[in-house]
Structure 1
Amino acid sequence: MTRAFRRSTALVAGLAAVLALSACGADDSADDEDAGATTLEVTDEFPISIEHAFGTTEITEEPKRVATWGWGSTEAAIASGVYPVAIAEQLWTVGKGNLLPWVEEAYDEKGVEHPTLLPDDGSGATVPYDEFIAAKPDLILAPYSGITEEQYKKLSEIAPTVAYPEAPWTTTWQDTITITAKALGRSAHGDEILADIDTFLADEAEKHPEFAGRKIAALYPGPNAMSLYTELDPRLAILTKLGFDVAPSVAELDTSDGGFYYDLSYEKVDAIDADVVVTYFDDDAQAAAFLKDQKALAIPAVKGGNVAQVVGREHISAVSPPTALSFQWAGGMPELVKLLSEAVAE
């Protein structure tokens, strides 16, 4: 899960050369007629300044060609009324050349041309600079990503770039939406998106009073350790909106280094004092094997059958964490709420 990145001097030099060539011929292909579609009006005045971990980005005028990187900003942009022309490839989720189902539905419903997919190795560690340059963006959004300061600087040579507020991969889903909407000059639409989501979550919490006060943990079992998502991670934070409390053993984890997960040896998993746990698996076979694994059965909630298993990469991605478009996607939060209700009832 470490997201580290190194580049050679040759790559940096190559980037500078490509940038120079790009600047010479950018004016004939980045005009409004081939820009990404918009469906909602601007609500803010430009210029807009956004502070983030690497400084302040000023956006002088309404972006016409938006590129996104990382997770969630694509959906936040679409929900705010802007359809990006280039987005990060979700290789782990849907494979090469495919769009996330809720993203594809959004483009198709509006009849918008599908965006260019920016190659990603699945971790977000390697930034495809050449592809960003080819997309000719006038804004790059990466508020929930793992870009390094060096990568941020290189992306900023291509277009104004918005990074995360504090630490990589820890931006809340609320902030991802708010930052994205503000960068697009559509803060009021961002507020509406959040209000709709809050209403959805409040309604679900009201429908499921059995969630209230129950202690919860979110786990990703590895071969040698159990990864626990910390309170900094949106996967866990979203569950508290349904009425759950973070399990004390998870709340006590040291997150001073900004870590969104914590690896716990299997010898210590019996300390996970959750009433219910959420797990994530690629397929049914892995999920079934977990419930019979003696190491996992040391967790009281697993032994008691109080497990909500999210199975399948699309379903995992829809809630890990949810985005502006996946909250109410049938295989996203609605399915997880159903699984949680069944797990609590065990």
Structure 2
Amino acid sequence: MRLRRHLIAIAGAAAIALPLSACAAPAAESAANGEAAASAEGFPVTIDHAFGETVIEDAPERVATWGWGSTEAAVALGVYPVAVAEQVWTVGPDALLPWVEDAYEEAGEPLPTILSDPEGGATVPYEEFIQADPDLILAPYSGLTGEQYDTLAEIAPVVAYPEAPWTTPWDEEIRITAEALGLADDGEAVLDEIAAGLAEQAEAHPEFAGTTFAGIWDGDGFVSVYTPADARIEVLTELGLEVAPSVAELDTSDGGFYYELSYEQLDKLDADVLISYHASQEDADAFLAKPELQAIPAVAAGRVAQVADPVTVSSVSPPTALSFGWAGGMPALVDAIAGALAD
């Protein structure tokens, strides 16, 4: 997802070795990035996370990001990272997410170095981090292991996730990023703007209030059901939707962001509307025609909102500080949910 490690793993798309990503443009001496960095006032900053605490002594000027969403959070705050993780599942090894590339170009910023990540976080390109020479590494929504964290921390201060891999709420990621950059007030302003947009969408769709939903990815003989711990699910509750009780009742993840549900149990996944994520429109069409999936009550009733193709899926899985307003992302998903409920 944009589909980071987890959707890559679920979709089975991360098994292919890909060539090393090249720097999209020289970002080593980005004066503008330095100017956008936080004022020295308010430092040092201490961030608590799953691996302890990270002390950021001075306002960072060369930020690198890893995982999902922290690039966009930094850019929304006026800080343009000099190195960012590639998103192979979404756009391939040598490209930037469209909303990220647009933001750099509109600001006249040099495009960042793209850090190779063909396995969605399973391995970390330490040498590439060293070459990028960051003074801060942001990874608040990632799958870093303790060993990976310790190794990266030898290169620069690292901000990891608060509790568990890939489960940081979308708003907390923005808040953590802002705090690490010494821009906490600006972070709240970004969140206020996003909240206003979500409230406007909720008001435009009063039928969402109290409507239960489940989000899934179809596998081979099972579906992956996303739990409320997953940010793509949590954000939809801001629209008035409610996670179906059956999602919790069937949950075997032990606090994870998804669990696998066999086809034999699909009839138990009861929800007013189903949101299904797909790697292509062809897969989305095949999903609706698959006999086994008719056991899901919402599928049988035709109440399915689909999100197809990697870029679109990534834009809402979950949305980021830059993709909330992307026309093909959340606005389109909201329309799809409304259409499914109207059928």
TM-score (norm: length of structure 1): 0.89
Match of 2:265 among 265, 268, 281: 268
Q: Which amino acid aligns with 2:108?
A: G
Q: Which residue of 2 aligns with 1:96?
A: 93
Q: Which residue of 2 aligns with 1:10?
A: none
Offset, 1:46: 0.2
Match of 2:223 among 199, 221, 226: 226
**Is the alpha carbon distance of 1:131 and 1:35 closer, same or farther for their aligned partners in structure 2, counting shifts above 3 Å?**
farther
Q: Which residue of 2 aligns with 1:209?
A: 206
**Is the alpha carbon distance of 1:32 and 1:292 closer, same or farther for their aligned partners in structure 2, counting shifts above 3 Å?**
closer
Q: Which residue of 1 aligns with 2:13?
A: none
The alignment covers a number of residue pairs equal to: 321
* Secondary structure of 1:199 counterpart: helix
**Percent of matched pairs sharing the same residue:** 58
Q: Distance in 2 between matches of 1:193 and 1:35?
A: 21
Offset, 1:124: 1.2
Q: Which residue of 2 aligns with 1:136?
A: 133
Once the two structures are superposed, what CA deviation does each residue of 1:104-151 show, in whole Å capped at 9, x if it has no partner? 000000010000000001421110000000000000000000000111
Q: Which residue of 2 aligns with 1:319?
A: 316
Offset, 1:39: 3.8
Q: Which residue of 2 aligns with 1:16?
A: none
TM-score (norm: length of structure 2): 0.90
Q: Which residue of 2 aligns with 1:67?
A: 64
Structure 2 stretches lacking a partner, 5+ long = 8-25
RMSD, matched Cα: 1.9
Offset, 1:257: 3.3
Once the two structures are superposed, what CA deviation does each residue of 1:272-308 show, in whole Å capped at 9, x if it has no partner? 1111011111211111111111111110101111101
Q: Which residue of 2 aligns with 1:36?
A: 33
Q: Distance in 1 between matches of 2:123 and 2:175?
A: 26
Q: Which residue of 2 aligns with 1:250?
A: 247
Return the structure number with greater relative CO, CA threshold 8 A, min gap 6: 2
Q: Which residue of 2 aligns with 1:112?
A: 109
* Secondary structure of 1:232 counterpart: coil
Q: Distance in 2 between matches of 1:40 and 1:338?
A: 37
**Is the alpha carbon distance of 1:316 and 1:130 closer, same or farther for their aligned partners in structure 2, counting shifts above 3 Å?**
same
Structure 1 stretches lacking a partner, 5+ long = 4-28
Offset, 1:41: 5.2
**Is the alpha carbon distance of 1:287 and 1:331 closer, same or farther for their aligned partners in structure 2, counting shifts above 3 Å?**
same
Once the two structures are superposed, what CA deviation does each residue of 1:210-255 show, in whole Å capped at 9, x if it has no partner? 1111110000000121100001001111111111111011133447
* Secondary structure of 1:56 counterpart: strand
Q: Distance in 1 between matches of 2:285 and 2:218?
A: 13
Matched, 1:156 2:156: no
**Is the alpha carbon distance of 1:143 and 1:37 closer, same or farther for their aligned partners in structure 2, counting shifts above 3 Å?**
same
> 4+ runs of 1 displaced by more than 2 Å?
29-44, 251-258
